[in-house]
């Protein structure tokens, strides 16, 4: 029998968009992250990010978030290429997650809706 391992990460950040222009957006944020599964802990999180709007409808965004849980950190980095269609965004790119001493590198795809 194989063990059933699962991981859920839930985040809430209050973001301050420090620089916001037509072609560039930079932000920082503070909040909390809960790491579910075998960890089952919540910690303080800070994040930094930026978006560059290359040309309509393409943008690139990158962000880094770090969470402090006990004596360990959870580090998250993502770099995504976005295609905007009205209020929708289709994204694809690279994500890296480090939980303590364990590293995960992943390809990412997603769809988001702005309200």
Predicted confidence (pLDDT) at residue 2 exceeds the cutoff of 60: no
pLDDT value of residue 3 = 63
Percent of the chain with pLDDT over 70: 97
Question: Got the DSSP string for 6-70?
Answer: ---EEEEEEEEEEEE-SSEEEEEEEEEEEE-TTS-EEEEEEEEEEEEEEETTEEEEEEEEEEEET
pLDDT value of residue 4 = 64
* Cα dihedral sign, 25-31-37-39: positive
Q: What is the mean pLDDT of residues 33-61?
A: 94
pTM: predicted TM-score of the whole model, two decimal places: 0.85
Which residues in 60-77 are b (16+ Cβ under 10 Å) and which e? Answer: ebebebbbebeeeebebe
pLDDT value of residue 100 = 84
Predicted confidence (pLDDT) at residue 1 exceeds the cutoff of 60: no
Q: What is the mean pLDDT of residues 77-99?
A: 96
């Amino acid at each position: 029998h194989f063990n059933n391992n699962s991981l859920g990460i839930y985040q809430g950040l209050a973001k301050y968009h420090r620089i916001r222009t037509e072609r560039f957006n930079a932000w920082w944020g503070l909040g909390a992250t809960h790491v579910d599964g075998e960890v089952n802990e919540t910690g303080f999180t800070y994040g930094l990010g930026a978006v560059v709007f290359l040309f309509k409808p393409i943008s690139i965004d990158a962000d880094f978030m770090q969470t402090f849980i006990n004596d360990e950190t959870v580090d998250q980095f993502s770099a995504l290429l976005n295609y905007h269609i009205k209020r929708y965004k289709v994204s694809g790119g690279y994500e890296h997650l480090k939980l303590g001493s364990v590293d995960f590198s992943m390809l990412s795809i997603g769809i988001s809706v702005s309200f």
